[in-house]
Amino acid sequence: MNSRMYRKGMKDGIPVALGYFVVSITIGIAARGAGLSWLQAAVMSFTNNTSAGQFASFALIASSAPYAEMALSQAVINLRYCLMSCALSQKLDADLPFYHRFFLAFGVTDEIFGLSVTQKGRLNPWYTYGIMSVAVPGWSLGTITGILSTGVLPQTFLNAMNMALYGMFIAVFMPAARENRLLRPILAVSMAGSAAFHLLPQFDFLSSGMKIIVLTLTISLGAAVLFPIEEAAEKEEKPEAETGGSRV
């Protein structure tokens, strides 16, 4: 069971790894701009696994900012991982050995979380480990590729790979919207709100990471108050790891 879930995780993780590889190339290019060596950039990617956080760090490193400022900026930019960990902790079996929580925490990124939390029923940690085992190397290798081969890969290829990453997001939330009618207006509001934050100059004072946090908190909270999910409906949700894809 565990090895089957691990392999399923690896398979679902391929688009994540490809997308990471590409996004991470841009991280590598930015790292070179901030004066990092390829090894420093690789260590940073391997230990952080966060696109927005790493991007933001380069300006701070280049300007020799205090460590405290670095810690604070990372905490704010990566606050969404805190929400994600809260959500993911609810998917774990109470009998699961505690050490799994320390390993799972390392893999909480937007994409790995998105795939893991939308598994039916309880989360088998080996599924997440499967994703991590292809996605985390993809992230680190992309960074190294970026810093070493600036300007070699064609832009059309990088663009298409970026699209693959978004295609994966869509493949997570659209099937859910089909099954749960309440989600449709919520997703529509989310996209409209996101477009407004993107287009209106009044919101320019928010970093892109903060915009995601603000939108996620307000819309999810509003949705939870307006459309609370009944307990009864949740209980019907039995573990269906045998048949369930990455759908809700």
Q: How near is the Cβ of 166 to other proteins at its closest, in Å?
A: 4
Taking CB under 8 A as the criterion, the residue among 84, 134, 135, 144 binding other proteins is 84
- The distance of closest approach from Cβ of residue 44 to other proteins in the complex, given in angstroms and rounded to an integer, is 5
Q: How far apart are CA 229 and CA 223, in angstroms?
A: 10
Residues 42-61 that bind other proteins (CB under 8 A): 43-44, 47-50, 53-54, 57, 60-61
Please select the residue that binds other proteins; options are 2, 7, 11, 148, rule is CB under 8 A.
Answer: 11
d(CA 213, CA 205): 14
240: which residues sit within 8 A by CB, 6+ positions away?
A: 120, 121
Contact with other proteins (CB under 8 A): which of 9, 10, 80, 134?
80
Minimum Å distance from CB 95 to other proteins? 12
Residue 3 or 90 having the CB closest to other proteins: 90
Instruction: Measure the CA–CA gap between 5 and 60, rounded to whole angstroms.
Output: 40
Subset of 85-124 contacting other proteins (CB under 8 A):
85-90, 94, 101-102, 104-106, 108, 110, 113-115, 117-118
Query: 15-34: which residues touch other proteins (CB under 8 A)?
Result: 15, 18-19
Check: CB of residue 88 under 8 Å from CB of residue 119: no
Q: Which two tokens stand for residue 30?
A: 């930015």
d(CA 77, CA 54): 10
End-to-end CA distance of the chain: 20
Task: Rule CB under 8 A: say whether 205 interacts with other proteins.
Answer: no
Residue 49 burial (CB count, 10 A): 22
**Residue list 159-188, contact with other proteins (CB under 8 A):** 159-178, 183, 186-187
Residue 210 as a binder of other proteins (CB under 8 A): the answer is no
- What binding mask, one character per residue, do residues 60-79 give for other proteins by CB under 8 A, x or -? xx--x--x--xx--xx--xx
Half-sphere exposure of 174 (CA within 13 A, CB side): 6
Task: Count interface residues toward other proteins (CB under 8 A).
Answer: 102
Shortest spacing between CB 67 and other proteins, in angstroms: 5
CA-closest candidate to residue 174, choices 243, 246, 82, 70: 246
- Give the shortest CB-149-to-other proteins separation in angstroms: 19
CA distance linking residue 74 with residue 22, whole number of Å: 22
126 binds other proteins (CB under 8 A): no
